[in-house]
A and B are shown apart, each in its own frame.
Chain A
Amino acid sequence: MVSRPYQSEGDVRTLATDLLASTMGLMVYSTQTVWALGEATARTVVGSMLDRIVPTLTEAIVSRMNLTDVVLRNVDLYAVVTAALDELDLTQIVVDRVDVDQIVDRADIDAVVDRVPMLQIADYIIEEIDLPQIIRESTGGIAMDAFTTTRFSAVKSDEVLSKIVGTLMFRRKDQQSESHIESDVPPETPVEAPNADEAPR
């Protein structure tokens, strides 16, 4: 509202217009103020009332129904959990938050070891490093090497002989004894074995 100093000069009409206008303005202003005031008061009162009523009411409702059952019946838990897991990087969370060392400290390692096939692992390692070959090379001696070579040569000769005989007697392939030593599989010729360090494995 704008107030102007009263100017005595002017006719009655102007005065009346001014008076009417200012009265109207005052009315509008008052109404707005009262409305706002009322609204604020009502909001506060209703708010505080709701604050008191809703928890009590909710508590009363929830206590009267089995929420778990409702959720289980109506919610697709698998979808919820899957969505949650999709959001989370579970591995990272475990890595960040779990002390694996402590878990290992508490774990019964003996029980784990009991379940590990130790003998098979040992056998596997022996097979992979070819321990028998290492032992043969380190302890066999020349005489044993010579006999291993002789054995391989004899087996080879046997195969050649059986092939020749098979051909001469028109034997079918499946009746001939199959070849064991292929040309691309070199027999372990211990003649070269003395320098075992250079021997290819």
Chain B
Amino acid sequence: MTSFREFREEHDADEGLVLDTVPSAARQFQGERAGFFTRLIAAVIDVVIVGAIIFGVWIAVWLFLLVFNPLVDYGMPRPGYFALGGYFIMWVYWSWGWATSGRSIGQHLMGVRVVDRDGRKPGWKLATVRSLFCVVFQVGILWIIVSPANRSVQDVVLRTSAIHDWSGDFTSGDYSSHARIQTGTAEGKAG
């Protein structure tokens, strides 16, 4: 048990008052770039969610058509349409998630947040571009395995980072205080 004096000295040196909701075991990597598996699981969750949305849309359309034309059997559309729709919804979904809260649902569940080079929430432009990049070039995530700074190809190109953030904080857009990404050194290594 730390005494109040020790606690105060430690936090005075820090940033003063912190009401930390992050589990104590997770605080040591809070704000650092997330690794491959964490982000892969988050991405898989997002893909599953988007898949569910696609199927929901398809069922809704199918029911709609059934009401007006009950006798015509439209059958399953070609898988290409599903894929195309999936890519598009994925793009919109990630853009919306990253621009509004910095995280998609999958990333929220895995405690990951996307930040720009200054550790802030990415703007709409950056979120849209990164999202499109991720949708088009999915294998970019594999670079995380090789990169010592845990950056995907998208991160390297757009200078973004996906950091561990286990707090449920959606309010402020500035995470630079607890984003412990060292932009200068890590970029040099990652390149």
> Which chain A residues have a beta carbon within 8 Å of chain B's beta carbons?
117, 119-121, 123-124, 126-128, 130, 132-133, 136, 147-148, 150-152, 154-155, 157-159, 161-162, 165-166, 169, 171, 175-177, 180-181, 185-188
Q: Specify which chain A residues have a CB less than 8 angstroms from the CB of B189 in the assembled complex.
A: 175
Report the contact-size class of chain B (Cβ under 8 Å from the partner). 35 or more
A176 to B189, CA, bound (A): 11
A23 to B38, CA, bound (A): 136
Q: Specify which chain A residues have a CB less than 8 angstroms from the CB of B22 in the assembled complex.
A: 132
A155 to B41, CA, bound (A): 11
B167 to A, closest residue via Cβ: A132
- Which of B25, B38, B110 has the most C-beta atoms of chain A within 10 angstroms of its own C-beta? B25
User: Given A123-B17, A150-B110, A171-B148, are A158 and B26 also a contact pair (CB < 8 Å)?
Assistant: no
Q: Specify which chain B residues have a CB less than 8 angstroms from the CB of A176 in the assembled complex.
A: 148
Q: Specify which chain B residues have a CB less than 8 angstroms from the CB of A155 in the assembled complex.
A: 26, 29, 34-35, 38, 164
Contact of B35 among A128, A136, A148, A154 (CB under 8 A): A154
- Give chain A's interface secondary structure class: helix
Asked whether A128 lies within 8 Å of B2 as measured between CB atoms, the reply is yes
User: Given A177-B150, A180-B29, A181-B25, are A120 and B145 also a contact pair (CB < 8 Å)?
Assistant: no
4 cross-chain pairs, A with B, having the tightest CB-CB distances, nearest first: A158-B35, A154-B38, A157-B37, A180-B29
A164 to B, closest residue via Cβ: B145
A127 to B2, CA, bound (A): 10
Contact of A161 among B24, B26, B145, B164 (CB under 8 A): B145
As a 0/1 sequence over residues 1 to 44 of chain B, the CB contacts with chain A under 8 angstroms (1 = contact) are 11010011001000001111111111011001011111001000
12 contacts between A and B (CB under 8 A): A120-B7, A133-B23, A150-B109, A150-B110, A151-B38, A151-B166, A152-B25, A154-B41, A155-B35, A158-B35, A158-B36, A162-B35
A151 to B18, CA, bound (A): 23
As a 0/1 sequence over residues 137 to 155 of chain B, the CB contacts with chain A under 8 angstroms (1 = contact) are 0000000011011100000
Q: Specify which chain A residues have a CB less than 8 angstroms from the CB of B150 in the assembled complex.
A: 158, 162, 177
A169 to B, closest residue via Cβ: B146
B111 within 8 A of A: yes
A188 to B21, CA, bound (A): 13
B8 CB to nearest A CB, Å: 6
- Which of A136, A152, A155, A186 has the most C-beta atoms of chain B within 10 angstroms of its own C-beta? A155
Known A177-B150, A187-B26; 13 more pairs at CB < 8 Å: A121-B4, A124-B7, A128-B2, A147-B110, A150-B110, A151-B166, A154-B35, A154-B41, A155-B164, A157-B35, A158-B38, A169-B146, A188-B25
